[in-house]
Amino acid sequence: MNMVVCVKRVPDTSESEVHIDASGKDIDKSRLSFGINECDNYAVEEAIQIKERLEGNVTVISLGGKDSDEVIRMALAKGGDDAIRLEDDAFAGGDALAVAKALAGAVKGLEYDIVFTGALTDDDGYAAVPVALAELLGVPHATYVKKVEILEPGKKAKVGRELEGGLMEFLEIDMPCVLGIQTGINEPRYASFKGIKQAAKKEIAVKSAADLGLDAADIGEAGSWAVLEQFTPPVVGEMAEILEGEPDETAAKLAGILKEKGLV
Amino acid sequence: MRLLYELDDEKKLFRKTVRDFSEQEIRPQVEHLWETGEFPYDIVRKMGELGILGIPFPEEYGGAGGDYLAYAIAVEELARVDGSCAITVEAHISLGTSPFYYYGSEEQKREWLVPLAQGRILGSFGLTEPEAGSDAGNTQTRAELAGGEWVINGTKCFITNPGTEMSGVVTLTVVTDTRPDGKKEISNIYVPKGTPGYNIAPKYKKMGWHASDTRELSFDDCRVPESNLIGKRGEGFKQFLDCLDGGRIAIAALAVGTAQGAFEESLGYARERKQFGRPIAAFQAIQFKLADMATEIEIARDVTYKAAAMRDAGVPHTKEAAMAKLFASEMCMRATTQAVQVHGGYGFMDEYAVSRFFRDAKILEIGEGTSEVQRMVIARELGLR
């Protein structure tokens, strides 16, 4: 089984204050720490587990600058075999479709049975890349995948999709395919020291848009259908109703509102 | 442009891995370990699987094939979350396992270094005695050859890692004879756990490092084969001094991590805690404390990494290791003291992590050579006698 995993380096905003930068189109990332997108971490683990069970090859791909080498190498340290990093000024400012075009350009040149991505990213959260990537590659896809069972290696898999309320939807999918992996599908491992040593020596192939045969007018901001205009902080207070009075009064008012809205 | 120095990819990835491991596997257990003093078997076993218990030893002997700098980084990251886990690793590598690696015969390496470096068993080193602390030359424990066996009698105290289910072996400094100059001939002999006459006392109750395994050991006509001698007879003093050079670098790293953990707690608390209508982080009195802590931690980290890199390069580093240990441990005491101060009354409460960091800090000025001994070592390296 030949597998490809797409990973993204994202800022960790869980425990930091987030400020919009001067451009109004991005956040100030200067004091943030970065790491692999959470879903992608599970996607890497899933690919490596399948490789360990059925043998094969795992290629790690990331779109980003040299900083992204860190998340690529960590995936290699855990058991990835090869790596490609897509770097070109022409990729800048792209939406989910443009990102998918770049990834598709890289994946097309590879033999693959499954392309894994995260179901969505922690930063932009479009959850559209796996779908767009599958369309561009002309292969089937499944998103929010929380279970993968290989029925026939290279041919057919059974996947479970996580729906609302913990409901699972199972479907059979032909390979090659694209699977958008949800967190919790497995337990991501820690890289061993030995794995890290090997990964530090591996070569990461850096490819430009031209290397992938992509037209600069069709990628990045130029090739996007959606263009980011502005970030705004959430407006405080507008939607909030402040209940006043003694605790038993406010509790009664709150209970009334919840009942009225059918929430209890 | 190239920085004067920068950690390479391997070190950065390794730091990230140990940090993730510490956050996800250790942090949820820290309070429980502190309160109960239970030895963290699950954590230690997982560290063995990742190669953390054998970082600076070659792969052919079961190690991870890393260097001393990687080892220092691991200890630092562990200490940032939990000192007990950090000292367990430190004592196992620097003291318990190093004698086999540096001085063991090929046979001893195969038998002991491999399982130690793989983290299947834990190692200990027995140097300190009730009457031989800083004055290690005053070792009283004796080993006499009789019928091809060493017969060992004596007591060792404050020994880390000997009494767990994973503990496998302790290396002891023992007096094997009197030298022609009248001084004691000190040699290193290892004793497997379970050897008759090797008695392990209950765990000490300690000010800090509650979950680490620290005990008194006594030897009562304990017999081991003559071949349990490590290196040559009479080399014990030289061997443990060299192991201690390495150990001091690791203790310095442990101090850097402990201070870093206390600093991060303080930074977070200062931003949240409001007094006089503002977060206390807005007051210069608190800002200056945090600025001083961050500055001193950075200096201590640099001197520690430098000493580790010197050890890796194989150049003399006795002075630098002592300097790193001295500065980092005393810095850690200052930093954790200020961390409690930033927290005010809450810092005195058990449930606030800074109270643990504060209590874990003190031993760093004592263990593996007190601050006073470090100053003696440095003075001697300066040519003062």
* Cβ–Cβ under 8 Å, residues A167 and A150: no
Nearest CA in chain A to B70: A193
- Percent of chain B at pLDDT exceeding 90: 93
**Model pLDDT, residue A4:** 98
Per-residue pLDDT, B13: 93
Mean model confidence pLDDT for chain B: 96
d(CA B325, CA B116): 25
Looking at residue A87, its pLDDT comes to 97
What does the pLDDT read at residue B3?
65
Q: Report the residue of B6, B7, B8, B13 to disrupt the A interface, i.e. the one with the largest count of A CBs within 10 Å.
A: B13
Q: What angle do CA B372, B332, B88 make, to 5 degrees?
A: 85
Residue A264 belongs to some domain of the structure: no
Distance of alpha carbon A16 from alpha carbon B367, whole angstroms: 37
What rounded mean pLDDT belongs to chain A? 93
- pLDDT 10s digits, B83-125: 999 999 999 999 999 999 999 999 999 999 999 999 999 999 9
What letter does residue B189 receive in the DSSP assignment? E
* Alpha carbon of B73: minimum distance to chain A alpha carbons (Å): 12
What's A172's DSSP letter?
A: E
B contact residues 49-108, partner A, Cβ 8 Å cutoff: 49-52, 55, 59, 64-66, 70
Give the total number of structural domains in chain A: 1
What residue type is B329 in one-letter code? S
How far, in whole angstroms, is CA B218 from its chain's centroid? 22
A200–B9 CB contact, under 8 Å: yes
Domain B9-122 has CATH 1.20.120.850: no
The rounded distance, in Å, linking the Cα atoms of B174 and B152 is 8
Query: What confidence tens digit (pLDDT) does each residue in B150-200 have?
Result: 999 999 999 999 999 999 999 999 999 999 999 999 999 999 999 999 999
Lowest model confidence (mean pLDDT) among A204-213, A239-248, B46-55, B257-266: A239-248
Q: What does the pLDDT read at residue B163?
A: 97
Fold for B123-234, please state it: Butyryl-CoA Dehydrogenase, subunit A; domain 2 (2.40.110)
Contact B341, B347 (CB under 8 A): yes
What is the dihedral sign for C-alpha B313, B317, B320, B325? positive
CB contact under 8 A, A200 and B13: yes
d(CA B343, CA B270): 8
Q: Token pair for residue B368?
A: 């593996």
* pLDDT at residue B52 greater than cutoff 60: yes
What pLDDT was estimated at residue B137?
86
Phi–psi pair at A57, nearest 5 degrees: -135, 140
Residue A2 has pLDDT above 90, yes or no: yes
Q: Sorting pLDDT into bands at 50, 70 and 90, what band is B2?
A: low
**Residue A190 with chain B: CB contacts under 8 Å:** 17, 20-21, 50
> Does residue A181 fall inside a structural domain?
yes
CA distance A107 to chain B (A): 26
**Rounded CA gap, B360 and A13, in Å?**
31
Read off the amino acid at residue A113.
D
Residue B245 has pLDDT above 90, yes or no: no
Distance CA B18, CA B9 (A): 14
Residue A196 has its nearest CB partner, among B14, B20, B59, at B14
Residue type, A4: V
Q: Does pLDDT of B5 surpass 80?
A: no
Annotation marks residue B25 as catalytic: no
Is position A257 within any domain? Answer: no
Contact between residue B318 and residue B248 where contact means Cβ atoms under 8 Å apart: no
Tell whether A240 is covered by a domain. Answer: no
Could you tell me the two tokens for A16?
A: 């930091």
Cα A181 to Cα A130: distance, rounded to the nearest angstrom: 9
- Which residues of B are less than 8 Å from A73 in CB distance? 9, 13
Cis peptide before A176 (omega within 30 of 0): yes
Q: Is A156 among the domain residues?
A: yes
Q: Which two tokens stand for residue B330?
A: 């005393």
Q: Give the closest residue to A185 by CA, choosing from A48, A42, A4.
A: A42
Give yes or no for residue B71 having a pLDDT over 60.
Answer: yes
Report the percent of chain A where pLDDT is more than 70.
99
A35: which chain B residues are within 8 Å (Cβ-Cβ)?
16
Residues of B in contact with A70 (CB under 8 A): 9, 12-13, 16
- Going by C-beta distance under 8 Å and a sequence separation of 6 or more, which residues neighbour residue B302? none
Q: Is residue A233 part of a domain?
A: no
Tell me: the pLDDT tens digits for A23-45? 998 889 888 889 999 999 999 99
Pairwise CB contact (< 8 Å): B13 & A191: yes
**Chain A residues close to B17, C-beta within 8 Å:** 74, 77, 190-191, 193, 196
Where residue A233 falls among pLDDT bands split at 50, 70, 90?
A: confident
Residue B1 has pLDDT above 60, yes or no: no
The string of DSSP codes covering B209-220 is -TTS-EEEEEEE
Indicate whether A231 belongs to any domain. Answer: no
Residue A228 has pLDDT above 90, yes or no: no
- Burial, A204: exposed, middle or buried (Cβ in 10 Å; 0-12, 13-18, 19+)? middle
Phi-psi category of residue B354: left, alpha or beta, with phi > 0 → left and psi -120 to 50 → alpha? alpha
A contact residues 3-22, partner B, Cβ 8 Å cutoff:
none
Question: Closest chain B residue to A69 measured between Cα atoms?
Answer: B9
Terminal CA-CA length for chain B: 45
pLDDT for A166: 81
The candidate with the shortest Cα–Cα distance to B165, out of B187, B142, B128, B193, is B193
Q: Looking at residue A54, what is its pLDDT? A: 95
Contact indicator for A32, A13 with CB cutoff of 8 Å: yes
- Count the neighbouring beta carbons within 10 Å of the beta carbon of residue A235: 7
Domain boundaries, chain B: 9-122, 123-234, 238-381
Kindly report, residue by residue over B56-65, the tens digit of the pLDDT. 999 999 999 9
Q: Which letter does DSSP use for residue B132 in this model?
A: B
The CATH number for A126's domain is 3.40.50.620
Look at residue B375 in the predicted model and tell me its pLDDT. 98
Please determine, looking at this structure, whether the domain spanning B238-381 carries the CATH number 2.70.50.60.
no
Range of the domain at A79: 2-223
CB distance B166 to B121 below 8 Å: yes
Residue B59: closest C-alpha in chain A: A194
